[in-house]
Structure 1
Amino acid sequence: MSEKQTFDSLKVSEKLIEKLRESNITEPTAVQAQAIPLIFEGKSLLFQSETGTGKTYAYVLPLLTKIESAENSVSEGTAAKTPQIMIVAPTFELASQIKTQIKAVSDIKTALLIGGAPIKRQVENLKEKPAVIAGTPARLVELLKLKKIKTDGLKALVLDEADRLIAPELRDFTMELVNSVKKQVQLIAASATITKSAQKLLSASRIKADGSSETEVETLFLPPEDVLKKRITHLAVFAERRDKIDTLRKVLLAEKPSKALIFTGKLNQVENIVSKLKYKGIECYGLHAKTEKTERKSIIDRFRSGKIKTLVTSDLASRGLDIPEISHVIQMDMPSNEDFFVHRAGRTARAGKTGTNIVIGDEYEMKNYARIEKKLGLTVYPKVLFKGKLTAPFVPE
């Protein structure tokens, strides 16, 4: 049996380890234990691991340790003046979260470069010579074309939620970034799901014009920890469409979640749900694609800190976001794609915790839920509201 890995044995810097301890992170997850040594070796890597397994720190810790080492080995006057790490994320929320996670463990200067925010301010931030830049693909491409980002000193390019980044709507921007950096730059791609076409596309990006490969792209696929089966309790509550919001209100009162994330696939339903819950005295907030950027950030920050207990959202927030202590995910409809179901449910039971996923659905949606239950090997418990509690349905003898 191999010896259990620690952050120290993985050669993560002591400064970072101390900061991790302050956040009650004392042991590496499985993906961290396997990915960190490969990234330290400078290998280009595509790695896949379930939601909530610590993928961000799997690449952040070794890359930040490398920057610290480089800074310690050179005199102050010769420190790097251009970004050393570029992290690309599909959404403003995920890019912002990555910066927050870096800030939690390190004082290495990091710039957030996202669309929808003033580009002038971001240009000013780049003049402060950040070692790490994190942003969304379109804005990063825009800043590259304006020659505000220099990639000469870039050591690593990270694609977080890589499958989203190479989906049709973002692929052109992402590949422009990938192809704009030198072939020897370390390429790291992380996701809960990486397709064969994604592997092929990213591997091909490292091949030079003469057909040779500067850096071979390795793959790391972590066996599923079955978070969906083992740590999440799945419940089904039947409701006709017209009764759903009132049923949601009763479910919230019955379950008393410490922190609840409520999903609807219909953008225009977010405000409708929020207004009706507030009318009934339940304090909550809404988040969707049309929410103004600064307001989105404020809402997510307050939800993360616990100042907001109930958040209603479109599928904007269903992927990549790591909000601690979400006790309940409530789905007000069944998403058309089962991947969305998985990513929605995966917002709870993160970092080794347990959680509850509740679907409030009509007859059609319950049939769809039964199909997903069978396909994913889940156990779904039907529940009814009785005297202010969620209980098993009464079955007459």
Structure 2
Amino acid sequence: METFKELGVNKNIVKGLNELGIVNPTQIQSEVIQVLLNADTDLIGQAQTGTGKTAAYGVPLLHRVNPKVEKVQGLILCPTRELGLQIAKQLFKFTKHTEKTFTECVYGGAPIEKQIANLRRPTQIIVATPGRLIELVKKKAVDLTHVKIVILDEADEMLSMGFKDQLNEILTYLSRVENKWLFSATMPDGIKQIIRRHISKTAHRIQISGKNVVNKNIKHQFVLCEDQEKLSVLMQFLKSDTKARGVVFCKTKEAAQKLNQQLQSQKVKVDAIHGDLKQIERNKVMRAFKNEKLRVLVATDLAARGIDIEGLAFVVHYQLPDKEEYYTHRSGRTARAGKEGISLSLVNHKEMKSLRYFQKALNIGFSQIRAKRQ
């Protein structure tokens, strides 16, 4: 395996990476960095969440941005505030030993005036959610005329959150940019349309591991049970390893709220995130979960976008999702950075059909676990 130094990465960036425990490049990092470090090109990268994509595109981006030029040269689009802040933080840490490159993160649901004030400072890289970026451009608060690299991170998530029109608008505005790098765990039709419309036909394509890119370190398990048995099966699972932390997924906010109350009444340290929460409430829940004051987070699919928390041992599908890409994204919250994890589905007889479909579509094996009858 090549080292970052052998890939040609600046020794001071290597030092920053090593201090973060990023010593040997992952497959996506190795393949992407080789392509992007020096050449102008479009790139399409397909890899699951947790494979180290931020360093894969972040390292070439930092190499190619000139810290002496006080203009926005790099733009990273991502689905959520959480992911945006995490990317900005990573880039800051990568450049700990280099000349300072300034990154600003902008997102909806927060006061725009403060973000406008921050953008008046010298800024080389902007990390943005698509809607907020368009607002800032319309207010003439951000100048994108010097951008030479545009990155779409978790493109499929941005699409499923309804950002398709905004992405088309931004990419049309930046059509002359010579480097468009798109990363996605799955490739639904909407992403293929964006690729056909905005990405060069000669773009490099890099796909990591398998058909629908499901992390090989995840054990996929299921328990067949009736809906009224799911709570007691979940409690059995939580009691089997009282230190393990993870996320439990529901399809609707009503189901998430109900399950959260049921688990709280069973003395589980739990809280929920769903679409009805104000940003301030959501931040509070996420902070408590990150600081390990909560053991379990109950979440809906959209609310969980961009969650990245170290060391989650499990994901539970309390209700199966409708689409296989949702299953991929949910499961990708565990087994990150080379660790192992469990993805447990609690399915009734009707949901077994969906489970069999996921098994085939995603090319994964599910093992059945038998719950103790109460």
User: Contact 2:211/2:363 (CA < 8 Å) preserved in 1?
Assistant: no
| Higher Cα radius of gyration | 1
| 1:196 CA displacement | 6.7
Task: Report whether the alignment pairs 1:133 with 2:126.
Answer: yes
What SS does the aligned partner of 2:110 have? coil
| 1:319 CA displacement | 4.8
User: Contact 2:149/2:177 (CA < 8 Å) preserved in 1?
Assistant: no
Task: Report whether the alignment pairs 1:86 with 2:75.
Answer: yes
| 1:110 CA displacement | 1.7
User: Contact 2:275/2:303 (CA < 8 Å) preserved in 1?
Assistant: no
The superposition leaves residues 319-369 of structure 1 with CA deviations (integer Å, 9 ceiling, x where unpaired) of 554322111111101111122112211211122111111111222123432
Q: Identity across aligned pairs (percent)?
A: 29
Name the CA shift for 1:288/1:123 in 2 (closer, same or farther; >3 Å): same
Cα distance in 2 for partners of 1:321, 1:239 equals 29
Name the CA shift for 1:195/1:264 in 2 (closer, same or farther; >3 Å): closer
Name the CA shift for 1:158/1:277 in 2 (closer, same or farther; >3 Å): same
Cα distance in 1 for partners of 2:361, 2:126 equals 40
The superposition leaves residues 160-196 of structure 1 with CA deviations (integer Å, 9 ceiling, x where unpaired) of 1223435693121111111212513421111112357
What SS does the aligned partner of 1:296 have? helix
User: Contact 1:115/1:139 (CA < 8 Å) preserved in 2?
Assistant: yes
The counterpart of 2:324, out of the listed 338, 345, 350, is 338
Cα distance in 2 for partners of 1:98, 1:229 equals 21
Unaligned runs of 5+ in 1: 72-78, 207-212, 389-397
Equivalent residue number for residue 393 of structure 1: none
User: Contact 1:318/1:340 (CA < 8 Å) preserved in 2?
Assistant: no
Aligned Cα root-mean-square deviation (Å) = 2.6
Q: Which sits farther off after the overlay, 30-39 or 12-21?
A: 12-21
| 1:288 CA displacement | 1.4
What SS does the aligned partner of 1:386 have? coil
Cα distance in 2 for partners of 1:374, 1:199 equals 22
Alignment TM-score, normalising by the size of structure 2: 0.89
Equivalent residue number for residue 189 of structure 1: 182
What SS does the aligned partner of 1:286 have? strand
Q: Which sits farther off after the overlay, 177-186 or 298-307?
A: 298-307
One-letter code aligned to 1:37:
Q
Equivalent residue number for residue 385 of structure 1: 371
User: Contact 1:10/1:36 (CA < 8 Å) preserved in 2?
Assistant: yes
What SS does the aligned partner of 2:54 have? helix
Cα distance in 1 for partners of 2:163, 2:209 equals 28
Question: Which structure 2 residues correspond to residues 219-258 of structure 1 after superposition, within 5 A?
Answer: 219-224=205-210, 228=214, 230-258=216-244
How many aligned residue pairs are there?
369
One-letter code aligned to 1:303:
F
What SS does the aligned partner of 1:256 have? coil
One-letter code aligned to 1:175:
N
User: Contact 1:126/1:149 (CA < 8 Å) preserved in 2?
Assistant: yes
Unaligned runs of 5+ in 2: none
Name the CA shift for 1:362/1:216 in 2 (closer, same or farther; >3 Å): closer
Task: Report whether the alignment pairs 1:61 with 2:63.
Answer: no
Task: Report whether the alignment pairs 1:49 with 2:35.
Answer: no
Cα distance in 2 for partners of 1:99, 1:229 equals 25
One-letter code aligned to 2:80:
T
Name the CA shift for 1:225/1:256 in 2 (closer, same or farther; >3 Å): farther
Structure with bigger RCO (C-alpha 8 Å, 6+ apart)? 2
What SS does the aligned partner of 2:123 have? coil
